[in-house]
Amino acid sequence: MRTASVDRRTKETDIHCELNLDTAGKVRISTGIGFFDHMLTLLAFHGGFSLVMEADGDLDVDDHHTIEDCGIVLGQAFRQALGERIGIERYGTFTLPMDESLATVSLDISGRPYLVFSCEFTRDSIGMMASEMVEEFMRAFAFNAGITLHVNLHYGKNDHHKAEAVFKALGHALKIAMKVTGDGVASTKGMLE
């Protein structure tokens, strides 16, 4: 089973994460930021994995530390759960419509972290989540998971729909890339790093 449990405690946040890449269904998210909880729930559901994410952060300051640190912890959990990445498909791309919005996420579980984020939001926040934190979460997740991640929002008007399209597309792209389809490493180098 590809599982991981990661804890991170700083002066700004206290986060616990449990991840099971091979079992869908168990999703329990509690970060104190309603819209972010919604996005993580969608990510796990559409990614086909189980996720527990409990965060206690300095929300009296703002949402930045909590969301960024959740990205760090989730990325570390993915890296741990994937292990040597033996047999995985490695690459995943998914284009997802959400009403008037359309997003494409392409990724490579390469061990080489990178983020290209091409999304425009018009509102400062969606619920209690600052719109700019979508990119910050993606960066923290990609760099800690060791994933090359390209996020492109082609168009859209409603910022809720735009963010939802991005998180759902990320889930589907991860599901494709994490799928075990062989018994070797998908690299001519013989390793993913």
7-23 pLDDT, tens digit per residue, is 999 999 999 999 999 99
Helix (H), strand (E) counts: the chain: 4, 10
How many Å apart are CA 170 and CA 189, to the nearest integer? 26
Q: What is the third-level CATH fold of 3-178?
A: Ribosomal Protein S5; domain 2 (3.30.230)
In the prediction, which pLDDT does 25 show?
81
pLDDT in tens, 90-126: 999 999 999 999 999 999 999 999 999 999 999 999 9
How many Å apart are CA 20 and CA 125, to the nearest integer? 31
Contacts with 29 (C-beta within 8 Å, 6 or more apart), sequence order? 37, 40, 41, 44, 51, 52, 53
Q: What is the CA radius of gyration of the chain?
A: 16
For tokens 């018009």, what's the residue? Answer: 122
In the prediction, which pLDDT does 191 show?
54
In the prediction, which pLDDT does 113 show?
97
pLDDT in tens, 49-66: 999 999 999 999 999 999
Q: How, if at all, do strands 27-30 and 50-57 pair?
A: parallel
Global pTM value: 0.94
In the prediction, which pLDDT does 188 show?
47
Say which amino acid occupies 168: K
Which one has a higher pLDDT value, 171 or 183?
171
Say which amino acid occupies 118: S
Mean pLDDT of the residues in the chain = 94
Q: Where are the domains of the chain?
A: 3-178
Q: How close are the terminal C-alpha atoms of the chain, in Å? A: 22
